[in-house]
Amino acid sequence: MTFTIAIDGPAAAGKGTLSRQIAEAYGFQHLDTGLTYRATAKALLDAGLPLDDEAVAEKMARDVDLAGLDRSVLARHHIGEAASKIAVMPAVRRALVEAQQAFAGREPGTVLDGRDIGTVVCPHAPVKLYVTASAQVRAKRRYEEILGQGAEADFEAIFEDVKKRDERDMGRADSPLKPAADAHLLDTSEMSIEAAFQAAKSIIDAALKKN
Ligand code: DC
């Protein structure tokens, strides 16, 4: 039987880094579900198709190949914005959730990260983490990441952007971002990546013992 770790949280909370570290430490397969929304959005943009036609977007979602998700291409800002728009459509979500649920069953174990993993995609996951940090801290991390890449960044614009993305992700009618009732909350505002990893590890080890 497989073992699934569900990780949710807002943009730039550190859940991607944490998910990759956990997958590596336990030898589990990892899926960043945000990339599936991004790949759908990119396919629409590339084809010059509208972002608000649900039937067309659903078809693109059904064609997404989980093996071909390229983070370096999909990370671009305008793709994230488009992804957040198509993510409000129930037919798109149904198509991508089906693919994500199939992935979750892979052996020997899986780590899925996103917005609705513990609530909708894998409601029976034995470990659910909700990774968060204040909007201010998340904006500061993103700002420093961009400066670190040698590019210019405007903190206020990034801060506004983080808050806007939160509103859209938490306010949508279908599968809004929220912690599952049985999720462990990990607030990384004042925590290093290493401390967050250690906290997650003790939760996972305890659940593995029970399994
Ligand atoms: O985590 P990210 O920035 O790559 O996600 C891009 C968008 O996709 C985000 O604004 C919301 C959406 N998303 C979602 O609705 N459900 C998920 N499980 C993952 C992402």
* Ligand 1 touching residue 116 (CB < 6 A): yes
Query: Smallest Cα–Cα separation from 33: which of 122, 110, 96?
Result: 96
Residue nearest to atom 2 of ligand 1 (CA): 34
Q: Where are the domains of the chain?
A: 1-28+112-204, 32-107
* Ligand 1 touching residue 33 (CB < 6 A): yes
Considering the domain 1-28+112-204, what is its CATH architecture?
Answer: 3-Layer(aba) Sandwich (3.40)
- Count CB-CB contacts under 10 A for residue 45: 13
pLDDT of residue 12: 86
Q: Which of 101, 120, 169, 175 to mutate to test the pocket of ligand 1 (most atoms within 8 A of CB)?
A: 169
pLDDT of residue 169: 86
Residue nearest to atom 9 of ligand 1 (CA): 84
Residue nearest to atom 15 of ligand 1 (CA): 87
Residues with pLDDT less than 70, the chain? none
* Ligand 1 touching residue 115 (CB < 6 A): yes
Provide CB contacts within 8 A for 146, sequence distance 6+. 152, 153, 158
Question: Taking each helix axis from N to C terminus, what angle separates 155-171 and 135-148, rounded to the nearest 10 degrees?
Answer: 130
pLDDT of residue 11: 86
